[in-house]
Every structure is written in C-alpha cells, then in structure tokens.
Amino acid sequence: MTAISLPQEDGADAARQSARQAEVAEALSRVLPASALLVRREDTAPYECDGLTAFKAVPMAVVLPENETQLVAVLKVCHALGVPVIARGAGTGLSGGALPHRLGVTLSLAKFNRILKVDPLSCTAVVQCGVRNLAISEAAAPYGLYYAPDPSSQIACTIGGNVAENSGGVHCLKYGMTLHNVLKIRGFTAEGEPVEFGSEALDAPGIDLLAVVIGSEGMLAITTEVTVKLVPKPELARCMVASFPTIESAGSAVASVIARGIVPAGLELMDQRMTAVAEDYVHAGYDLSAAALLLCESDGTEEEVADEVAAMKRVLEESGASRIEVSQDEAQRLKFWSGRKNAFPASGGISPDYMCMDSTIPRKRLAEMLLAIQAMESKYQLQCVNVFHAGDGNLHPLILFDANDRDQFRRCELFGAEILEASLKLGGTVTGEHGVGVEKLNSMCVQFSAAELEQFVAVKRAFDPAGMLNPGKVIPTLARCAEYGKMHVHRGMMPFPELPRY
Amino acid sequence: MAAAGINRDAAVERLRDRILEARGRRMSLDIRGGNTKAFYGETPRGEPLGLAELTGISSYEPSELVVTVRAGTPLIELEAVLAERGQCLAFEPPRFAPGGTVGGMVAAGLAGPARAAAGPLRDYVLGATILNGRGELLTFGGQVMKNVAGYDVSRLIAGSWGVLGVLCEVSLKVLASKVDSATLAFDWDERRALTEMARWNALPLPLSASAWHDGCLRVRLSGAAAAVRSACRKLGGTELDPGIARGWWKSVRDHDHPFFRPDEAALAGGECLWRISVPPATQVLEQAGFIGWGGAERWWRTNAPAHRIRSIAAAAQGHATLVRAADKSAGAFAPLGESLMRIHRALKSAFDPDRVFNAGRLYADL
C-alpha cells in the first residue's frame, strides 16, 4: 500500500532533526544495551506503521527495553529531553494508534513477554504487557479457564495493546470488552514513576482510574503488567448459520434476538458479497444465495445451550430465515466461524487495498445503515463488503480500493467519513473497538464539541502534564476541527474550488 | 454533542447558574439526589445542590437494552419501569433508604450481591452528560454497547462521588431479568464456605450471588430453568423457600440486614462498620463478620483501630472503607499512594478547577 507522505522538511529542518536525533540517541545509549536501541533507518523501518498501513512515519529511535529498570531510564531520559514516547505492542492496531512520531521514540514492549502467574483459585492471570492475547488462554486452558476478549488478531496482538485500545472481539457481546476483563494494571507515568490502577480485589479506593486508562491509546500511562480475569470455559458451544433473503430481515432478526432477552456468545452478520469472498477463501459451505448470513453462537452448560439454541432458532425463523444450520460438533462449529474470522484477509485477496471502518449504531438501525452504504457505493464508485458484530451494533464495512490510484484513495476516505457521520446521525459512535488513533481524528470533531475535546485534553494533562505520551492521537486540535468543519459544511465540496490545493 | 433534549432543559440551565454563582463566591456545593447516602464516605459539606427538578426517563429502548435517565429520577421509579418490560439493573444497586436517585447511584458506584457475577456499575454505564466546574455541559460515551471514541470519561464519573461534576443524565445498559432463580443453604463454617466459593467460582455454574454469615453459606443460582435445576443437583445443600430467599438477598442488597445497621449506642461506644474489599479467594482473616461477593467483600463490626483494619486489608492486597462510625477522622476511604493522589488532584482540577463540587466528600484535599 502506498504511504501518505508527510510534508517534506527543508534542508535546515533536516539538519536540526539529525542533530536532535544524535542527542537523543546518545542519551538513550547511556541507559540501554546496544541491542535495545535502534536508530539506523533500516532498523527502524519495520516500525514505521502499525496495522493501518496508509499512515507511515519514521521515528528518531526505537527502544526495546528488557526490564522495568531500563524502561524507567528511557522514560526519564525522554521526559528530561522533551521527547515524545510512543508505546507499541505487536503493531496490529487498525487506527494508527502506534504510528511513530517524527521527533519521538517508539517504545517497543515486545520483550515484556512473560506470563507471571495463572491463579486458578482466584481465576486471574498476571501477565506482562507484551504477552499475546491467545497465549493467556493457552496458559489458562489446563485449569478449564480462558481469557474472553478475542480480537481477530488474537494470535499476534498483545494484552498491552488490547488495554490501550479497549479491544473487543466476537465474544464481547456476552463477555465484555477488555475493560470488563481487566482487574489491575501496573505501569509507569510519563515521568517514569511506578503506578497501579485497579486492584485484585473487585474494586479500588478513589476514582476509577482503570476505567479511563483502558482505551486511552497509550496517552495516559505506559502499561507493563496486567492482571486479567479468567472465566470458566463453557461446557459446550454451538454455532448456528442462518440465511436471510433480505438485509432488512437479517437486521430485524438481530434486534429481535436481543429484544427477547437472549445474550448470544456471538452474533455476527455478513452480507452476500462478504459471504462469497469468505467462502472462496475458506470453503466453509456458506449459503451463497442469501442476502445476508447471521452467525449465532450459544455457550454454557448443556441445558443452557439446548434452551438458548431452541429459543434463537424460533426467533430467527419468525424473522424470516430461509435456512438454519446448527453445528453438530466442534469441528463444524469452527468451520462455521472460519469464514467470519478470515473476513479481513479474504478481502485483502480480492482487492489491492481495503479500508476497515468500525462505527457502532443502535442494532435496530442495521438494515438502514446497510442500505445507506449501498447508496454510497454508487456515489463513490467503490465496492464495500460488510461484516458486522451485529449483536452489539458494531460495523466493519471494508471499502475496497487501490491505493496506487490517488483518486480512489481520496474517494475511499470520503466514503469512510460519510459512513462515520451516518453512524453518528443514527445515534452511534465513530469507533466501537479499533480506537481513534490518527485515522478518525477528523470524525472526532463531528462527534464531540470543542468543550468536550478540551475536557479530553485536560484529562490527558492530569496524567501527563508535559504531553509526552503518544501526542497527536485521539484528540484532534481545535484548529484541525475548524478546517475539517469547513469542508464538512460543504458536503465534500472544497471551499473555494477555484484555488489550487496540495 | 449533548443528547437531544438535555441541553435545552431549563433545570440544567438553573444548575449551571447555581454552579457559576457558587464558583464566583468560592463556595462549595453538596450535590444531592435523595440524600440517602450521606452516611457513606466523608461528611458532606457546602450548600446543598438538589437535583429534584432534573427527573424523568429520557428514552428507553427495551430491544436495545438501553435506558437514558435524568439524574434526579428516583431509582425505584426506574427499576419499576424496567421491571414492566422484564428488565433490570444487573448489578443490583443498593437502596439504603427510599428516595435514592439514579444520579446518586452512579456517583456512589455501589453494587449489590450480584456484583461478583454481573460486574460493577461502571460496566453498565454507556454514556453520561455532566456539568463540569466551569458550568460546561458535556456528553461522553453514548447509547451504544461498544464505544471507544475518546477517553472513557462516563465511566470515570461512575463511583467518583460527585467530585468531578454534576451528573445530569446517564445512559445505562440494562439486561433481561433472569428467568429462574434458586438459593441453596449450607451450614458451614467460614473456612469451608470460602474454600467452596472459590472452587465454584472457577466452574461454569450459573452463580449469581454467594454470601456467608453466622455459620451459613447461601448461594444463589440464576438463569434458564434447566440450568438452575441442574446446578442445584450438582451443588446439594438445602433449597430455601423462594420468598424467604428473595427477602434475605434484598436485606443484604439494601443493608436492611441488622448486621449492617449497628445502633446508635453501639456507634457511640466506638463500634464501627467496616467494608473490607479483598481478592475473592482470600482465606480467613482475623474476623468473620459478613462475607459477600463470593469472598471479595468482608464486612466487620469492630472497635479495633482504623490503622489495624487497614493494614490487614492491605496485607491481603485489598482496602478497607469505614462505612458507619461516630468518628471518621481516620478517613472513610483508604488513603492513596502519592502518585495516584497526584493524578486525583490533577483530575479534580481538570474538571472542577475551583473546587465547587463535593469538597472533601471522597478525600480531604479533593
């Protein structure tokens, strides 16, 4: 994918930056072993972006501390020199939250990768921030326990990154997001002071800072250790695939399931084109004639699952399902899920690039939203395939485009922004689980007032007065909003169309 | 953007005027819902700021599992509306006295017996509209289940005892009430009860509450009828009459149970009611008292000095709250370490720079 190039610096600027880099590298080299400090362009290049490859920047340095002592030393050096610190886990984030800062240091926490404790008695695990999401469930499996949030990148993504983004997954409808499954965080302030949020007890004294640190995209503190809640593995899980003749009937089926008081372990929707793409990729045996497929999972004891499957089947039939298939064994259940879990890579196979949106809307507006997206496809002359965490109204439309074609990229960005604004009009939010990062800065201007954005800035300052941790993410400047606001008012028409634009 | 309606509410305008006026006079306001939790935390100070005019359910969508409520709405009113549609607040907020409000519930962040299974109040907060100390009306979060746009300020408000702002409106996630429920009793001592609770917590059982007091462990199972029945067979014990069981759990939830209400004479004699919050699998501590939340809450009535109780709690990786006492000079809430306290002070300044709201209600210098 082509990177969006940042403004070119002039020669004097480049010289200044190079001197600054030397100064910072020299200071860091005094507190880190040589192997933990990368400054050469070819060494830092792999860190130039995260999972959102459309945005790239080269950091002044990448540091990979091996322990807390080195980490504290890095933070103190950066704080003293006024150098931004951008924490990074596995770099799988989808909103550019770990995009490097041109004048900053990227702090890779990859070496904090030990599982410190799995306690089957209290149903908790204490892990370092660089431990992979799936590795926690693997370590807990011998005790019949697992860690519930399962972002699609769970093989690779780290718990520290999950904490930063408040990640979800297909099972968060029933089991909650990262916030609902983390008890305690140990970390460091921007100044390098140790700090703990939350408790291994069920609450902690004072204001619930854990709630705001989780999902703060590395802007409030650096997380090094996380105590997570483990939940008993259900005795049984079964998955249903239901075919619907229209988008509307699938959308209303979702609302009806929830309205009936059922909380499925997963409730996912794929539109016809997504189904075809996924089927081609994994051969799950999906019904290609359906306008939309719903995947509904039930888990629990044998009795609970039998009850719930019967209840869901009834609702789906009443809502007009033309075909319902229930998994008969674990192999079939995993096969049903394989297409959904591979929706993104499958889409990557049919288009040079795609842009993944992540808004959330009230469930009852799902069909309305899908129809609106169809209209946008003709407006922007780009295709969009849709896969939704339908149970909680979280949409992942994937807009297909070719980044080598500048005009396609421009149309894709406008398409994406229109989806987000439509989501807000339907009573939703611009991001459900991927985070704002740099990608949705403009949309934040639409969702929040100037006073609300200022309050976010004040929260940031309360934790990080000097503004050293991941600056420039999540909260757009008011100047940026003013500029975007102008464009927004004119509905995609540039103001003063006769003037040249760069 | 503020939710439609609340930003044009005349009651909000009057609250804003009061805030700005108090700010101008450097006065502190004591935010009051039903004034049913004045005994909890530090003693309220300042001029009362009532929310009685800010009432009503702004929107309720049973099929979306979301209700949006003005903060002064009586909690029992909200619960009655939800019950009509077979829904509830899953965390079972305590109602210490009639008249408690939704705003007070959110500000205190307390939860009842279901907490260990259902999660804390803040997990159910989807969005909040507040007036900050500059009189700005701000909305964070929203009415949808998943939302990571900006910092999660609405959940920061939950349990902050009103020190950050006046909650005007809140959106809460609601759940369907459980279809069936059964309570089993076991005549076990404290040690046996704690061991079994920890063992059961790790099993896929429909446990919705467990509490031990006076030689008896009570365990509540809730969910689909078949699942509840099957769990009853697995666990054994004696099944309580459903009406008696409901009454007992209510007495724990609302603190009607006499254990939580030491009389005036006892309090005057120096007895205190302590709430000790510890990891659920913590074994027997110095005293038995009342154990809730599957072992995570230990309530004690004792004359022992505060520093002693707090060091026992800290040694168990927990903390202790002085809930009822004639003298709270030892601090109602466990003191914080310096780095956390610095963040607390800075957050207070970020929302309420002139210290208008609930001065000293949570900690002396907030």
More confident residue, B26 or A170: B26
State in Å, rounded, how far the first CA of chain A is from the last one. Answer: 21
pLDDT attached to residue A496: 37
Q: Find the mean pLDDT for residues A15-42.
A: 96
pLDDT(B251) > 50: yes
Q: Find the mean pLDDT for residues B186-211.
A: 95
CB < 8 Å to A232, chain B = 202-205
Which helix or strand (DSSP H or E) is residue A188 part of?
strand A182-188
Sign of CA dihedral B288, B291, B295, B300: negative
Q: Find the mean pLDDT for residues A121-125.
A: 94
pLDDT(A498) > 80: no
Contact A168 B159 (CB under 8 A): no
The pTM assigned to this predicted structure is: 0.95
pLDDT attached to residue A8: 53
Task: Kindly report, residue by residue over A382-401, the tens digit of the pLDDT.
Answer: 999 999 999 999 999 999 99
pLDDT attached to residue A9: 53
Task: Kindly report, residue by residue over B55-96, the tens digit of the pLDDT.
Answer: 999 999 998 999 999 999 999 999 999 999 999 999 999 999
Instruction: Using a CB–CB cutoff of 8 Å, tell me whether B294 touches chain A.
Output: no
Query: Would you place residue B226 in the very low, low, confident or very high pLDDT band (cuts 50, 70, 90)?
Result: confident
- The beta strand positions in chain B, using DSSP E, are 29-32, 47-50, 57-61, 66-70, 87-88, 125-131, 137-141, 166-173, 175-176, 180-186, 207-213, 216-223, 238-239, 272-277, 290-292, 297-302, 319-324
pLDDT(B46) > 90: yes
Please tell me which residue of chain A has the smallest CA distance to B150: A474
pLDDT attached to residue A303: 86
B130, two tokens = 């507040």
Q: A380 with A397: CB under 8 angstroms?
A: no
Q: A290 with A322: CB under 8 angstroms?
A: yes
Beta strand B29-32 with B47-50 is: parallel
| CB contact residues (below 8 A), chain A span 230-269, against chain B | 232-235, 255-256, 258-259, 261, 263
The Cα A72–Cα A28 span in angstroms is 11
pLDDT attached to residue A502: 34
Please tell me which residue of chain A has the smallest CA distance to B231: A301
Contact B156 A361 (CB under 8 A): no
Contact A173 B201 (CB under 8 A): no
Task: Kindly report, residue by residue over A244-258, the tens digit of the pLDDT.
Answer: 999 999 999 999 999
pLDDT(A7) > 60: no
Best interface-test mutation with B: which of A455, A469, A475, A481 has the largest number of B CBs within 10 A? Answer: A455
Q: Find the mean pLDDT for residues B236-251.
A: 98
pLDDT attached to residue A493: 35
Mean pLDDT of chain A: 92
pLDDT(A487) > 60: no
- One-letter amino acid for residue A71 of the chain: L
Per-residue CA distances from A346 to A219, A285, A296, A340, B166 (Å): 33, 15, 21, 10, 48
Query: Would you place residue A11 in the very low, low, confident or very high pLDDT band (cuts 50, 70, 90)?
Result: confident
Q: What's the number of CA atoms in the CB half-sphere (13 Å) around residue A285?
A: 13
Q: Find the mean pLDDT for residues B113-137.
A: 97
pLDDT attached to residue A344: 85
pLDDT(A1) > 60: no
pLDDT(A492) > 50: no
More confident residue, A4 or A275: A275
The Cα A136–Cα A127 span in angstroms is 8
Q: Find the mean pLDDT for residues A111-135.
A: 97
% chain A with pLDDT above 90:
86
pLDDT(A491) > 50: no
Task: Kindly report, residue by residue over B301-356, the tens digit of the pLDDT.
Answer: 999 999 999 999 999 999 999 999 999 999 999 999 999 999 999 999 999 999 99
% chain A with pLDDT above 70:
95
